[in-house]
Amino acid sequence: MANCASISADQFKSAMRRFAASVNVITSIDGPTMNGMTATAVCSVSADPPSLLVIVNKTNRSHPVISRSGAFAVNVLSSDQEELAAHFAAKTPDPFADIDYRIGITGCPLICDADATLECEVVQETDYGTHTIFIGRIVTCDVTSKTPLLYHEGRFCRLEGRALHYA
Ligand SMILES: Cc1cc2nc3c(=O)[nH]c(=O)nc-3n(C[C@H](O)[C@H](O)[C@H](O)COP(=O)(O)O)c2cc1C
C-alpha cells in the first residue's frame, strides 16, 4: 500500500480511473468568445442554496471565460452524445460551428438533446494547484429522462442496468 508521501502521478491517475463519472460539457461565454469543455469533475454542493462545483484546469481556454463572465452551464451528456464529449475535449478553433445549441438566461450556450442542463452564476472561486474550483449557484435547470454517458477506466461507456436500491 502506498502512503501519502510516495504517491506518484501514475498511481494517482490509476486510482482516479476507478471513479465512474457522468460526462458533462461545461459551456461559457464572454463577449464574442463562446467555449465548451468536456469535464467529469462536476459535483453537487448543496440543495440550500442550490449549488454545484466544477473543477477547471487553469490552462484551459474555458478558465478565463468562466472567471471573467462569472457564469457557466453544465450540460450532462446523454448516452448517444459520445462524439460531443470527444469534440469538446479537442480544443477545436470554433467549437460551436457545427453544434446544435440555444442560449440560456446566463448567455451560456446550452447543448440540445443533453440529458440535463444547469446554468450557474459563480459564487466562489478557489485555486488549488493546477486547477480552480468554481462553485456555482444554480439559476436554471432542465432535466430529461434520457440515459447519461459515463466515463470509466479511460473509456466512454453506458449504464448496463438500473441499481436495485438507491439512497
Ligand atoms: C472524459 C474527460 C473528462 C475531463 N474532465 C476534465 C475536468 O473535469 N476538468 C478539466 O479541467 N479538464 C477536463 N478534461 C480535459 C478538457 O476537456 C480538455 O482539456 C479541453 O480541451 C479543455 O477545453 P478548453 O481549453 O477549450 O477549455 C476532461 C477530458 C475528458 C476527455
Q: Is the CB of 67 under 6 A from ligand 1?
A: no
Regarding the domain with residue range 22-146, which homologous superfamily does it belong to in the CATH classification?
A: Electron Transport, Fmn-binding Protein; Chain A (2.30.110.10)
CA–chain centroid gap for 93, Å, is 20
* 90 in Cβ contact with 80 (< 8 Å): no
Give the residue whose CA is nearest to atom 13 of ligand 1: 39
Q: What is the pLDDT of residues 87-110, one digit of tens each?
A: 999 999 999 999 999 999 999 999
User: How far is it between the farthest Cα atoms of the chain?
Assistant: 50
DSSP H or E run through 131: strand 131-143
Q: Is the CB of 66 under 6 A from ligand 1?
A: no
Domain boundaries, the chain: 22-146
Q: What is the pLDDT of residues 137-167, one digit of tens each?
A: 999 999 999 999 999 999 999 998 766 666 6
Q: What pTM did the predictor assign?
A: 0.94
Task: Give me 78's grid cell.
Answer: 446523454
